[in-house]
């Protein structure tokens, strides 16, 4: 079967330790010896048994990424970036989907899988206020999103309130006054839905425009389908919106579809704005204006934090190292769904 270090050592006429030294790039090996070993490795087509190394060192070279589901383009694109960022560090990524199911999210935190990974990048959806204690795990972890926070855990998130406030303000600047939102979670305060709604309300207050609950479109899951449903409900009510702010792009695209099916002109009759800057947002027609949350930055930062945690395990344990919270930069991407204007901006 597969060759082991012993086989290589025997063929090269050295000890197993020397082979190990060569494999791991230990500097104090005579060039001649190294050459012999490399030749043997080549000849036997030897590859390190990562499982054995893992048992010995306790590290696997695998990090886990737990997200709701890859079918949501935002998470697919985030996963893409995380995989590439991990690769830069010589790490591979194991992906777990929890679908926003509480049980599955708990499994992610306590599952046996944790033994096989060097760390976890976790984007929860069901966990929230009250579950902070569950985050006190003894393996490297970086939290994503805004469902839950804990001082003891590294976290990468974004300025949700500010971004939503800026997005709403942008729509107000365009002269829109009846701005509907899609993606509201009734009663939620933490979490993207709660925070983005807060930003929306702040922007309205800034502009002295009264808050009208009839403009709120509920949507538990942030899929295209639910966005379309919420939009339909808004249109069939007497809310009379002249703009829609989707709490993510999928919702906004679903809403846009519903508007178009009903013959509503975008942006003339109703302007549409999304959140996430997923690729498809560029190719709807009109192209969807959206808030870019800095996916790339979120991914690279999260991986870097995980690597740092692993490297400084000791100081993290005794609290010498303070966990940090990073807020990614956001910006509003203006496209045709909010401003008809020129041919160029429409695309």
Partner DNA sequence: TTGTATGCGTTATCAA
Partner DNA sequence: TTGATAACGCATACAA
Interface with a copy of itself (CB under 8 A): 2, 47-52, 54-55, 58, 60-62, 69-71, 73, 76-77, 79-80, 83-84, 92-97, 112-116, 138, 223-224, 228, 253-254, 256-257, 260-261, 279-280, 282-285, 287, 343, 346-347
Q: Give the separation between CA 129 and CA 136, rounded to whole angstroms.
A: 14
279 binds, among a copy of itself, DNA, none (CB under 5 to 8 A by kind): a copy of itself
Q: Residues 35, 52, 186, 189: which binds DNA (CB under 7 A)?
A: 52
Provide the pairing of β-strand 179-184 with 243-246: parallel
- Candidate segments 13-21, 154-162, 203-211, 281-289, binder of DNA by CB under 7 A: 13-21
Residue 322 C-beta: closest distance to DNA, Å: 27
Nearer Cβ to DNA (27/263): 27
Residue 22 C-beta: closest distance to DNA, Å: 8
118 binds, among DNA, a copy of itself, none (CB under 5 to 8 A by kind): none
33 binds, among DNA, a copy of itself, none (CB under 5 to 8 A by kind): DNA
Residue 150 sits at φ, ψ, to 5 deg, of -155, 130
Q: Give the separation between CA 230 and CA 226, rounded to whole angstroms.
A: 6
Provide the pairing of β-strand 119-122 with 62-67: parallel
Q: How many CB atoms lie within 10 A of CB 287?
A: 19
Provide the pairing of β-strand 290-292 with 331-333: antiparallel
Tokens standing for 84?
């590439």
- Can you say whether residue 216 is alpha, beta or left, with left for phi > 0 and alpha for psi between -120 and 50 degrees? beta
Residue 72 C-beta: closest distance to a copy of itself, Å: 9
Q: Residues 10, 23, 260, 345: which binds DNA (CB under 7 A)?
A: 23
Binding of DNA at residue 110 (CB under 7 A)? Answer: no
CB 251 within 8 A of CB 227: yes
Nearer Cβ to a copy of itself (111/323): 111
Residue 154 C-beta: closest distance to DNA, Å: 25
CB 123 within 8 A of CB 74: no
């Amino acid at each position: 079967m597969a060759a082991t270090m012993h086989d290589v050592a025997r063929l090269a006429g050295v000890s197993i330790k020397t082979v190990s030294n060569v494999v791991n790039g230990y500097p104090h090996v005579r060039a001649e010896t190294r050459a012999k070993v490399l030749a043997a490795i080549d000849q036997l087509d030897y590859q390190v048994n990562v499982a054995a190394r893992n048992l010995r060192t306790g590290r696997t070279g695998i990090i886990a990424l737990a997200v709701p589901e890859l079918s949501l383009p935002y998470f697919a694109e985030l996963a893409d970036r995380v995989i590439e960022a991990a690769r830069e560090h010589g790490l591979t990524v194991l992906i777990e989907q929890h679908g926003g199911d509480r049980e599955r999210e708990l499994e992610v935190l306590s599952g046996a899988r944790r033994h096989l990974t060097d760390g976890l990048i976790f984007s929860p959806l069901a966990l929230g206020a009250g579950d902070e204690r569950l985050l006190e795990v003894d393996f490297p972890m970086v939290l994503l999103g805004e469902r839950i926070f804990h001082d003891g855990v590294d976290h990468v998130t974004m300025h949700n309130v500010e971004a939503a406030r800026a997005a709403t303000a942008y729509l107000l600047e365009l002269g829109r006054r009846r701005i509907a939102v899609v993606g509201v979670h009734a009663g939620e305060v933490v979490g993207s839905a709660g925070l983005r709604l807060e930003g929306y309300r702040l922007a309205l207050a800034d502009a002295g425009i009264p808050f009208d609950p009839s403009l709120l479109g509920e949507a538990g899951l942030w899929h295209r389908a639910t966005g379309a449903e919420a939009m339909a409900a808004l249109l069939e009510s007497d809310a009379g919106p002249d703009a829609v702010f989707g709490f993510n792009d999928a919702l906004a695209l679903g809403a846009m579809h519903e508007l178009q099916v009903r013959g509503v002109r975008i942006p003339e009759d109703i302007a549409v704005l999304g959140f996430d800057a997923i690729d498809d947002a560029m190719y709807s027609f009109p192209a969807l204006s959206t808030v870019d949350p800095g996916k790339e930055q979120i991914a690279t930062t999260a991986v870097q934090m995980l690597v740092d945690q692993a490297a400084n395990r000791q100081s993290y344990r005794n609290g010498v190292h303070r966990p940090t919270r990073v807020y990614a930069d956001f910006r509003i991407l203006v496209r045709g769904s909010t401003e008809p204007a020129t041919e160029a901006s429409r695309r």
